[in-house]
Amino acid sequence: MTLDLFHNDNFDPERIDLPDAELLFWPKFYSTPDAQTWFEHLMKTVAWEEKVIAMYGRDVKVPRLSAWYADTQKNYTYSGNMHTPIPWLPELFTLKQEVENRTGEKFNSVLCNLYRNGQDSVAWHSDDEAELGKEPAIASLSFGETRIFKLRRADDHTQKFDIELPSGSCVLMRGKTQQAWQHQIAKSTKPLQARINLTFRLIS
């Protein structure tokens, strides 16, 4: 696959102004055609898996598919489960380098999530695992269907903010964002197509 990685103008990101958060948003980190190419490619190549977690003594299917790639042999706990990474796919490594170049941050892992339709979701949470450190930078790339990224203050759930994440967009969260805010992708009653979300993280 050939992709023109240098077609993008160096558009400055939008700064999303929320108290006690640092959020940068690139609506078109990738052009719509490039994002579609990535979407189709990642659908086929990522080792998508349906995970099962124990909840209230029952095994429950996680409402999305996921896969975790990293460049170190480390385990990482999220959603209460220990995960062992898969070595980088070359394509994911390319995306990582692009994201590093444009955000100025460093990453050593990517959590891939596939929201197959409107019924797939992720519940309110913060990315606050110990391995991420106190003020982690996390870059989130979206390909495919537009979903709404909802934020609410951890200490005041009435304070909310929504960001629509179209195909090819990138959000960078850093600073106190994970301490002060939670996020979710809510289920939708609308018929929605699939969305791939890649979140690049630096874990220790």
In whole angstroms, the minimum distance from the beta carbon of 144 to Mn ion comes to 18
The tokens 């979701």 sit on which residue?
Answer: 121
- Element housing 34 (H / E): helix 32-45
Q: Which stretch binds Mn ion (CB under 5 A): 9-17, 32-40, 74-82, 120-128?
A: 120-128
Exactly one of 22, 49, 71, 127 binds Mn ion (CB under 5 A); which one? 127
Judged by beta carbon, residue 151 or residue 192, the one nearer Mn ion is 151
In whole angstroms, the minimum distance from the beta carbon of 143 to Mn ion comes to 17
Write each residue from 19 to 58 as x if it is in contact with Mn ion (CB under 5 A), else as -, in one continuous string. Answer: ----------------------------------------
**Strand partners for 139:** 172, 200
Q: Which residue is nearest to Mn ion (CB)?
A: 127
Tell me which long-range contacts 79-87 makes (C-beta under 8 A, separation of at least 24). 79/51, 79/53, 80/53, 80/54, 81/51, 81/53, 85/109, 86/47
In whole angstroms, the minimum distance from the beta carbon of 184 to Mn ion comes to 8
What are φ and ψ of residue 37, in 5° steps?
Answer: -60, -45
Q: Which residues bind Mn ion (CB under 5 A)?
A: 127
